[in-house]
Every structure is written in structure tokens, then in C-alpha cells.
Amino acid sequence: MALIVGLGNPGSDYKSTRHNVGFEVIDNLAEKLSISFDPDNGLYQKGEGRFKGQSVVLIKPTTFMNRSGKAITKALAETGFDKSECLVCYDDINLEPGQIRLRPGGSAGGHNGISDIIEKLQTKSFPRLRVGIGKEFSRGKQAEYVLDPFTAEQREEIDKSIDLASDAILTFLRGGIDIAMNEFN
């Protein structure tokens, strides 16, 4: 059993921006698993399905990125999953476009969405999948950068990493975080 969460910002203004790559990973995974999403329940969209005989729940918070913890807390309470079964996918400026990294836990690394999740869950111990978006921005321009769409050149790399990230999630579902880390990091 697993709860897979992709972070992003709701609304068409943010679609295909760097900060919404977590949503894109979840959409790619939903397509691979033939999972469709229910309408927004106030805090997130949810899709349910099965993979290799186990229950899989996909979540896309409808809160803004910096308030993701509230949505994840509610999703965990409603689904009954443990925090250790909740894999969170999100963008990371410290990785180049095309790179992904899995970790069993850790700090927020400056990511406000992850900071909010850590605060609301009161733990740093939940698996994460970081998708690189690069950091080609001037000092003080990070917020603008993450809310901009990818360049055409980056888009090609990002599409590959999104597909790779969803494959890493399938490996996580089959064998757990350690096996997925060994294969994809």
C-alpha cells in the first residue's frame, strides 16, 4: 500500500511551471496505472488504483505549494496510510533538469512545501522523490524562476525525468525505498 503525492500549485496559471513538476509526475504515473482523479474534495484531488496487487492512492493537493502539509495530513488520516508509506514528489533547484533523487527522509532543503509537510507531520521521516529543475536564475529571482515554464530545451529533459520518476515510483511500490534508491539514484 502506498500514498503517492505530487506537489504543485493549483490552477491553469501554474500548469507546466517548474514548481508543478510533482503534479506532472503524478499525472504520468496515473496514465501508466490507468488511474483517474476524483473531483477536488477541498484539499486535494485523489485517484485510486492497484499495482501488483496492492492499493495505490495518488494525491495532488489543491492547496498552494506552501500549504501542502494540511492536504497530506488530511489524506493520511482519510486513507489510513502510515507516513512511511507516503512518497512525496517535488521539484528541486539543487538538481539539474533531468536528474531525480530518492531519499527515505531528511531536511526540507529550502523547499517551502516540504517545510510545511515536515511541520504538519511533525517528522522528517517520509520518503521523497526530488525532480531536478536546475537553478538558472539571478540572485533574488528564485520565486519567479520556479513559477516560469521550462525552456524548450529543458522541456525535453524534464519529460524524460518525469517518465523516469514514475518508473522509480513503480519500483518503490514493488520493492520499497531502498531498492528504488539503489536502482535510480
> Sheet holding 128-132: strands in order across?
44-51, 54-61, 2-6, 86-92, 128-132, 100-103
**90 annotated ligand binder:** no
Among residues 2, 8, 19, 74, which one is catalytic?
19
Amino acid at 76: L
* Residue 19 a catalytic site member: yes
Q: And the C-alpha cell for 40?
A: 477536488
d(CA 25, CA 28): 5
Task: Say if residue 41 carries a ligand binding annotation.
Answer: no
Q: Which three cell numbers stand for residue 115?
A: 517545510
Q: Closest Cα partner for 60 from 28, 82, 100?
A: 28
Annotation-wise, does 37 bind a ligand? no
| DSSP SS3 for 21 | helix
The C-alpha cell that represents 22 in the structure block: 510533482
28 is in an annotated binding site: no
| Residues tagged active-site | 19
Binding-site residue positions for tRNA: 14, 64, 66, 112
